[in-house]
């Protein structure tokens, strides 16, 4: 019996030992990834991303798939995002926070589909968008508010597919750069508004311009990009159903951009370090990490979607040009 237990213990230790620790350094970067890789070459176990020796993202992989609670923190150690995964898809509560601890987004997923009440806030703790999802489909009446959380920009009943209020035409936009505070870096950045060519057949609740502004205010610019110049193009595809659901998002990097593409979104960001930049060859992994953040925030902040009367479903595609610290 004792011999059996010893053999079993040795076998267990041998199995555990197949998960080898792996440390990845990013070229011209302060980012380091610490993880474990199993004998099949898949990430398995605890994952940690640090920036300048500060822990900024932690989670767990099971045979290459995200599982359990994943947490993002600022370089100052404040929790700004918590999201639960199961088999590599969101499943459970999602909470995004501002650095002061106030809510940014509250909601939940069920097997990758948005479920229940979703609420989006601004940094004044005012609700800017809210409504209910059921299996990824928007239900009932949704609202999009102005920055003060009082005036309705748009009110739409998704059950009846009927617009109840539309004040988008009364909005006034500034051509100046807008200054935001990044909770991820604890520093400010400026965003230049660019008018986009919308995708045909559908638009997000509140309109493209307000939704794009909401996206830009909340977009997580990877830490390594704050100190250099970037001009990178990504191509997004997605599906919108007649019910307003939004999914099947893919983001791919485009090596050669086409700024004249008929369906495009241009984002111009200028970080607080614009006067102290270094021109470097950014690590490919940083640019793919950038793509992951675009996909995550695109799914989070765009939608629900309203389709034109003559469209039942839309296979959307858009070229996204991200320009950081360049004119």
Report how far apart the first and last C-alpha atoms of the chain are (Å, whole number).
74
* 3-state secondary structure at position 100: coil
pLDDT tens digit sequence for 228-238: 778 888 888 89
Q: Which two tokens stand for residue 193?
A: 């508004």
d(CA 81, CA 89): 16
Helix (H) or strand (E) holding 291: helix 284-301
Who has greater pLDDT, 126 or 11?
126
pTM of the model: 0.85
Q: What is the pLDDT of residue 310?
A: 66
Lowest mean pLDDT, pick from 124-138, 169-183, 243-257, 284-298: 169-183
At residue 190 the predicted structure's pLDDT band, cuts being 50, 70 and 90, is low
Token digits for 313? Answer: 């479903």
- Residues of the chain with pLDDT > 90, as a percent, come to 39
User: Do 311 and 202 form a contact (C-beta atoms < 8 A)?
Assistant: yes
């Amino acid at each position: 019996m004792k011999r059996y237990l010893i053999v079993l213990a040795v076998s267990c230790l041998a199995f555990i030992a197949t998960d080898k620790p792996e440390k990845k350094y990013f070229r011209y970067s302060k980012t380091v990834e610490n993880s474990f890789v199993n004998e099949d070459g898949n990430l398995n176990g605890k994952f940690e991303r640090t920036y300048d020796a500060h822990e900024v993202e932690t989670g767990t992989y099971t045979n290459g798939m995200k599982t359990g609670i994943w947490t993002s923190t600022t370089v100052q150690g404040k929790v700004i995002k918590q999201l639960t995964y199961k088999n590599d898809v969101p499943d459970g509560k999602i909470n995004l926070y501002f650095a002061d601890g106030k809510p940014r987004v509250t909601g939940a997923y069920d097997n990758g589909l948005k479920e229940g009440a979703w609420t989006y806030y601004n940094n004044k703790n005012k609700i800017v968008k809210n409504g209910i999802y059921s299996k990824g489909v928007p239900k009932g009446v949704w609202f999009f508010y102005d920055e003060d959380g009082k005036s309705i920009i748009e009110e739409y009943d998704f059950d009846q597919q009927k617009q109840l209020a539309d004040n988008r035409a009364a909005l006034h936009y500034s051509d100046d750069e807008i200054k935001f505070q990044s909770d991820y870096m604890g520093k400010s950045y400026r965003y230049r508004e660019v008018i986009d060519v919308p995708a045909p057949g559908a638009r997000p609740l509140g309109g493209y311009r307000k939704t794009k502004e909401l996206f830009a205010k909340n977009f997580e610019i990877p830490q390594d990009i704050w100190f250099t110049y970037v001009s990178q193009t990504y191509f997004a595809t997605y599906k919108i159903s007649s019910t307003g659901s939004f999914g099947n998002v893919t983001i791919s990097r485009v090596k050669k951009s086409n700024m004249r593409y008929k369906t495009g979104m241009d984002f111009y960001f200028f970080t607080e370090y614009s006067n102290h930049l270094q021109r470097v060859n950014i690590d490919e992994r940083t640019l793919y990490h950038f793509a992951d953040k675009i996909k995550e925030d695109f799914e989070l902040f765009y939608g629900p979607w309203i389709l034109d009367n003559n469209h039942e479903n839309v296979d959307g595609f858009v070229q996204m040009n991200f320009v950081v610290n360049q004119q």
